[in-house]
Structure 1
Amino acid sequence: NMASKQFQNILHHITNLNYAQLKKLRHEVESNIATNQVGQAIADHEESISHCPHCDSHNLNRWGMTKQGIQRFKCKS
């Protein structure tokens, strides 16, 4: 597939990068990994919220975010 070909192309060209470019590449890769881990943790948490703690309904809507950036939910029941 296209992504695999692009990845192989990137791997092939890494050997041509200088030290400064390699450090920048490492920083970008580590930043993307951290972002993906945070995104995955948030998605896992949102999936774990499956019912209203008050009435046990599964009929929930997203309802803004807390100051800390945590998704809020509102029961529609």
Structure 2
Amino acid sequence: MENSSFTVTQNNIKNFSHIELKRLKHQVDAQLSKDRVRQTIAERESTISSCSHCKGKSFIRCDVTRQGHQRYRCKSCKKTFSSLTGILWWLKMCLIRWLTNYF
């Protein structure tokens, strides 16, 4: 966003209703959350050293998820995993996304 349009947005915030401000806050929070998730994913993908299921050290790249995350297949247990497998907050994010899309 250009600096001038950002300034205009800042000035227009004074005229927003309470509901519009809440909607704007929700959009900003969602964007910030996505950015944190993307950063964490990138950090985890660069440090994968073992299978999330059996802790085996021998695995290969097998495919990419719809969201663009690299998936791996363990040569020991034959299961697939990604940098997000077994992360509780990822499950929470998926549940929140599902709830906001369907309700």
Shorter-chain TM-score bucket reads 0.5 to 0.7
Structure 1 unmatched runs, 5+: 55-59
**Bigger Cα Rg:** 1
> How many residue pairs end up in the alignment?
64
Which runs of structure 1 show a deviation greater than 6 angstroms over 4 or more consecutive aligned residues? none
Query: Aligned pair 1:36/2:35, yes or no?
Result: yes
Residue correspondence of structure 1 range 1-77 to structure 2 within 5 A: 3-49=2-48, 53-54=57-58, 63-65=63-65, 71-73=70-72
Task: Give the counterpart letter for 1:19 in structure 2.
Answer: H
The range that moved more, 6-15 or 19-28, is 6-15
Structure 2 unmatched runs, 5+: 50-56, 74-103
Task: Give the counterpart letter for 1:30 in structure 2.
Answer: D
**Secondary structure in 1 matching 2:71:** strand
Q: CA deviation at 1:49?
A: 4.5
